Structure 1
């Protein structure tokens, strides 16, 4: 589709500097109508305040704000938790998990409005361009995708500010912004500034949600989480939906300095980047789920779930949500998680989450078998034959070596 054939574009709009500049740029370069699409994924009222008027002031013909928080939790976050997915051992995939629901809603709006193109503000260096465009390709391959950062001549915040000034478009952005941040219900990420040098420790200016462990209360707090088939249903005995539960645990975890990580990760596009992430509620939920898994899963089931988790983390990070592989992996994890019903009490203290208590009707733990006291259910003499068979290959190998 040529530039001339683009008449109506739906832009993933945030109200930040980049997307504020994209609106007039699209009109200048494609001579098209621009419709702003804003996804409410729990980034907070401050970011959403006045966003419709901001989009109109930038030149958009209209602005749609769509609440996607329940979809994010129920269709992506909770299913992903069942897989135990953690990218490169630390990252709980906060940015990655939001992209499928945002892209899908953007496509839905574009099709409803008869648009012929989609636009995003992702840079040509990052992972998000792949995540968005991978989803677009799976859901609406007939729509043209416009990625201004891969087309325009701007190369700095100042050049974008100059362009907006030239167009007489108001903005609250400034050239002195240090950090690049992305927030949603699950987490907030931080990049740029002093942490671009991996030898620099993150300053207090980086963290926005969580207290430092040094500032956290000196007294531990206990929180009880109740799960049904791997999904969180109650916090401290109170039933609540997923959005409310995550919001509550974010607040509790932040108070105790829980959920901070500082990671140098491998981006999909090949480069390494350093990011600082805060995922307080997610860290609590995942710790509790793993505590429940230890009680319920047998050895081989747990090993397989861990393998699924590794593969699923890579899949989510790489933006392959709308694929048959996602469906297959999720089906396996969901099948295993049917056993994950029970209660877990976690202890929050100075940035740490530890499992204090756990119980489940599906527990495979038996005091009768595990006790160090006398029992009538386990004959220790039986272990001799098991060990002989278990080590048979080593025994035969050693006999061969001795014979040689």
Structure 2
């Protein structure tokens, strides 16, 4: 362990990472650089600076990454209409590649020998952080304290903090939260507590971002999203940045009871886990993006995207954002979005996202003169359908005769 002189730690300033900071110094006899990212979790990150200073940290990185997170990670993912196992919008998964990237970059900037994270040995995050780090810096050393130490309970962590005079709000730390939570501008997740029983309904006071559909307004909210090359660029006609898209849609969606999910998912490490999620903005984005694609994408392109999406979602969930196969798929997905331009009008009502209009002046493939049920003035010869049907029925008719 003596070959590690400096470590970059993903640091929140909470009990776990504060203990990790001191443990790294004592166990590895090394200097620790802290990195704290604001990716829209809704909590102040500056207090982490004072806590790190109080523990003697000399190099402290506090960064606002909300725009980069939305622009370079969330938006590319939603161009693919990504959803894992039919329900999960990958809010935690998609944040890890960005954090891994910055850990590696800061290690390079500061001359650090290693990076460290606070993910446990049972979860997916350890895989995501480390696969990302190795993809970007093949020889990096990764330290995962939860796989090394014996501080495997909250009581032991608090005892260690008191013993080493680690500045932690013990009044707050002493009140164990019933849930393990993770938040960013795409979602907030809840695990643990009563959620470990998949039969138990989440408590209403658990939810932070959304009202219940029953308590949502009785009057629907209408919004209009403008798309350019598959990304939202305006809300109700007003230009917005990717970070602002997430902030505004989370607020609008949460106020209308949109985005709650209760899922039992298959973790990459092999176990099933139950989690509850709030993803109001992401739920709106998924519905709206599919709506504008329905108007502007060729049928076979759309179907091919749908076939590849589960594989793309699995790559993100399992931590392969920086893999060549994900990058290859992204190139294809982004190429498909060149014509995904236009507007989508949505009605938000008591937990529902309802598409009520879609429009594309330049790239719509919808031809009203052909699709109409009225007289199409010869735009479509209905007699042509007979030969089309018979040719497609040929193999079915041959098989039927053989069965006789």
What's the TM-score bracket when you normalise by the shorter of the two chains?
Answer: over 0.9
Aligned position for 2:392: 390
SS in 1 for 2:151: coil
Aligned position for 2:278: 278
- Cα distance, 1:104–1:182 mapped onto 2, change above 3 Å: same
Long gaps (5+) in structure 1: none
Mapped to 2, the partners of 1:10 and 1:114 lie a distance apart of 10
Aligned position for 1:88: 85
Asked if 1 retains the 8 angstrom alpha-carbon contact of 2:46 and 2:62, the reply is no
Mapped to 2, the partners of 1:308 and 1:57 lie a distance apart of 49
Aligned position for 1:261: 261
Instruction: Summarize deviations over 1:309-331 as a string: whole Å, max 9, x none.
Output: 21110011111011111111001
Mapped to 1, the partners of 2:369 and 2:174 lie a distance apart of 66
Instruction: Summarize deviations over 1:247-296 as a string: whole Å, max 9, x none.
Output: 11111111001111110100010001111111111111111100111112
Aligned position for 2:39: 41
Aligned position for 2:140: 143
Aligned position for 2:221: 221
Mapped to 2, the partners of 1:68 and 1:10 lie a distance apart of 17
- Cα RMSD (Å): 1.2
Aligned position for 1:369: 370
Asked if 2 retains the 8 angstrom alpha-carbon contact of 1:157 and 1:175, the reply is no
Asked if 1 retains the 8 angstrom alpha-carbon contact of 2:96 and 2:129, the reply is yes
Mapped to 2, the partners of 1:255 and 1:49 lie a distance apart of 28
Name the TM-score, length of structure 2 as normaliser.
Answer: 0.96
Matches within 5 A, 1:42-121: 42-44=40-42, 46-121=43-118
Aligned position for 1:129: 126
Mapped to 2, the partners of 1:137 and 1:303 lie a distance apart of 34
Deviation (angstroms), 1:56 = 2.5
Mapped to 1, the partners of 2:182 and 2:77 lie a distance apart of 20
Matches within 5 A, 1:231-250: 231-250=231-250
Mapped to 1, the partners of 2:97 and 2:403 lie a distance apart of 57
Instruction: Summarize deviations over 1:333-389 as a string: whole Å, max 9, x none.
Output: 111111110100011000110101101122222222222222221222211111000
SS in 1 for 2:104: helix
- Cα distance, 1:17–1:154 mapped onto 2, change above 3 Å: same
- Cα distance, 1:47–1:266 mapped onto 2, change above 3 Å: farther
Instruction: Summarize deviations over 1:132-152 as a string: whole Å, max 9, x none.
Output: 100111111222111000000
Mapped to 2, the partners of 1:169 and 1:267 lie a distance apart of 33
Asked if 2 retains the 8 angstrom alpha-carbon contact of 1:127 and 1:318, the reply is yes
Asked if 2 retains the 8 angstrom alpha-carbon contact of 1:258 and 1:280, the reply is yes
Deviation (angstroms), 1:175 = 4.8
Aligned position for 1:335: 335
Aligned position for 1:212: 212
Asked if 2 retains the 8 angstrom alpha-carbon contact of 1:284 and 1:353, the reply is yes
Aligned position for 1:316: 316
Quick check: 3-12 or 176-185, which moved more? Answer: 176-185
SS in 2 for 1:398: helix
Mapped to 2, the partners of 1:341 and 1:179 lie a distance apart of 41
Instruction: Summarize deviations over 1:189-214 as a string: whole Å, max 9, x none.
Output: 11111111111001012210011101
Mapped to 2, the partners of 1:364 and 1:143 lie a distance apart of 49
SS in 1 for 2:381: coil
Mapped to 2, the partners of 1:336 and 1:299 lie a distance apart of 12
Mapped to 2, the partners of 1:246 and 1:105 lie a distance apart of 21
Mapped to 2, the partners of 1:140 and 1:67 lie a distance apart of 23
SS in 2 for 1:185: coil
Deviation (angstroms), 1:59 = 4.5
Deviation (angstroms), 1:58 = 3.7
